[in-house]
Amino acid sequence: MKLSFFITVIIGAFIIISNDVSGQIKINLKDKVNREADRRANRKTDEAVDKGFDKVEDGLKNVFKKKDKGETEEDGEAAQGGEAGASDKGSTGSKGSKAAAPTLTWAKYDFVPGDQVIFEDNLTGEENGEFPSRWDLVRGNTEIAVVDGENVIMMRDGAPSIVPYIKDSQNDYLPDIFTIELDFYYPGDGMFEIYLYDRKNQKSNSPTGYTYIQVQDDQFLMGQARSRHPDENLAKSRWMHIAIAYTDGKLKAYMDETRLINIPRLDFNPSGLTFYTYHARNDNLYYIKNVRIAKGGVKYYDRVMQDGKIIVNGIRFDVNKATLKPESMGAINEIYNLMKENPDLKFSVEGHTDSQGDDAFNMKLSEERANTVMNTLIKMGISSDRLAAKGWGESKPISNNASPEDMANNRRVEFVKM
């Protein structure tokens, strides 16, 4: 009885174990099939990825081979895609391409001096240590000094301020269209101000009070208009050429060969000129030289059509030399543009001097200066068969040489239509 019961239990346990093992075998077989399927799928995927990388590597090798042979990317695109390649190259975000940087075209220097000088002071004949004879004092201490062999107006201390010594200076002596120029030395500290009214003899007519251009280091400020020079490497203490052009309410101001201020409408009428600085002192001296106020305004094209020639006082040279000064390029650029826009126009470039100095020297100097201007235009791209050069020396004055302004008007370059 006991034996039969024991055998029955053993047989039942065996049946249970057999069923479990069979089920486990089925489970293991299923897992194995799944794992094998995954393995094979992964292998196929790896093979596909490998093939893809092989193609990329082959493509890169071809690109570098082409680069070694001097072929450009544009050549490769043209060979592979024609118009499609060209369109992809210019798009943003297409095939990972990068947008090209914008191309800047900026006429940063368009200053052309007025053609009739109404005030000029190059400090000729001034005595060192004296007050400049063609100026009047508003306040402070200002004297003539010699810097690097040239006379300058030195603004020393006491918040110096000066105005041109002009007859009837209580009245508006600036025309509706005028230019102002000066060479100015900034000592590296403080501010220099150019007022567009005479602070000794006139009253400001501006409702806002912004009647001056402030020069500070590498920037100009006039009310809300302010701008820094784009050259970040300018020396802090340096000479600069300052130019101002006013045309019926519109004002532009230039530092060297760059326009920094461009105001479409001033809220006042400029009537005179004042130089002022609060910051001058014996260890921070401000220097001024070559001041000129000129009346002007008729466009070059209109002048040549009306008169058959263009009289230009804005082309400047070193003293007794034919070397162009940088500020001459505004006027020369205007002549260049005029000739480019009018391809049939031909000019005789003719130099003139004032009556100072030897006649023969002046004749030779005027010829050399005319040739310098002509050759500059040729280098810029004007055909040589459209230009000629001639010097007249002091033989054809347009003023009587009785004053600095008369002599300044006689020192000129004329472009005579041929």
Domain boundaries, the chain: 2-81, 108-297, 298-418
Over its length of 418 residues, how does the chain's per-residue pLDDT go in tens digits?
A: 444 544 454 445 444 444 444 444 344 545 554 555 555 555 555 555 455 545 545 554 454 444 444 444 434 333 333 333 344 444 444 455 677 888 876 778 888 888 889 999 999 999 999 999 999 999 999 999 999 999 999 999 999 999 999 989 999 999 999 999 999 999 999 999 999 999 999 999 899 888 999 999 999 999 888 999 999 899 999 999 999 999 889 999 999 989 999 999 999 999 999 999 999 999 999 999 999 999 976 678 878 887 899 888 888 899 889 999 888 888 898 899 999 999 999 999 999 999 888 999 999 999 999 999 999 999 999 999 999 999 999 999 988 888 888 888 999 999 999 9
Is 0.85 topped by the overall pTM?
no
CATH hierarchy code of domain 108-297? 2.60.120.560
Q: What is 298-418's CATH number, 3.30.70.270, 3.30.1330.60, 3.40.50.1820, 3.40.50.300?
A: 3.30.1330.60
Three-state SS annotation for the chain:
CHHHHHHHHHHHHHHHHHHHHHHHHHHHHHHHHHHHHHHHHHHHHHHHHHHHHHHHHHHHHHHHHHHHCCCCHHHHHHHHHCHHHHHHHHCCCHHHCCCCCCCCCCCCCCCCCCCEEEEEECCCCCCCCCCCCCEEEEEEEEEEEEECCEEEEEEEEEEEEEEECCCCCCCCCCCCEEEEEEEEEECCCCCEEEECCCCCCCCCCCCCCCCEEEEECCEEEECCEEEECCCCCCCCCEEEEEEEEEECCEEEEEECCEEEEEECCCCCCCCCCEEECCCCECCECEEEEEEEEEECCCCHHHHHHHHCEEEECCCCECCCCCCECHHHHHHHHHHHHHHHHCCCCCEEEEEECCCCCCHHHHHHHHHHHHHHHHHHHHHHCCCHHHEEEEECCCCCCCCCCCCHHHHHHHCEEEEEEC
pLDDT in the model for residue 138:
97
